[in-house]
């Protein structure tokens, strides 16, 4: 129990965290798909994901001023800003539900 208390105390001091995440799917000993993104967390509850793959340049920020996910697509559609609810079908299919599992 002492280690858990130390971990909780240490985490309580963290105000901001950033990590490069690589998610690989293996099937029959082969890599089927790899996703790469930069994950940023800032207390109290702000998340940002910068996609490298499978959607390079796409940025997701949660929450926006209305409590939704702001999605700025990469590439030629970079001028768009979409404001989607967490249960949006577009988040589930385009990110294979990884985003909603992180939240």
For 22-67, the pLDDT digits (tens) are 888 888 888 777 788 888 888 878 888 898 887 888 898 998 888 8
CA distance 33 to 35: 7
Beta bridge partners of 28: none
pLDDT at position 29: 84
> Residue ranges of the domains in the chain?
15-102
- The pLDDT of residue 92 is 65
Instruction: Report cis status (omega within 30 of 0) of the bond before 44.
Output: yes
Assigned token pair, 89:
């079908």
């Amino acid at each position: 129990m002492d280690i858990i208390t130390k971990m909780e105390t240490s985490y309580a001091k963290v105000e901001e965290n950033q990590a490069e995440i690589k998610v690989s799917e293996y099937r029959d000993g082969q890599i089927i798909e790899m996703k790469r993104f930069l994950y940023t967390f800032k207390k109290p509850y702000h998340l940002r994901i910068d996609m490298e793959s499978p959607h390079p340049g796409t940025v997701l920020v949660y929450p926006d001023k209305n409590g939704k996910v702001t999605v700025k697509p990469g590439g030629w559609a970079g001028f768009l800003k979409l404001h989607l609810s967490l249960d949006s079908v577009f988040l589930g299919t385009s990110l294979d539900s990884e985003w909603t599992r992180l939240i």
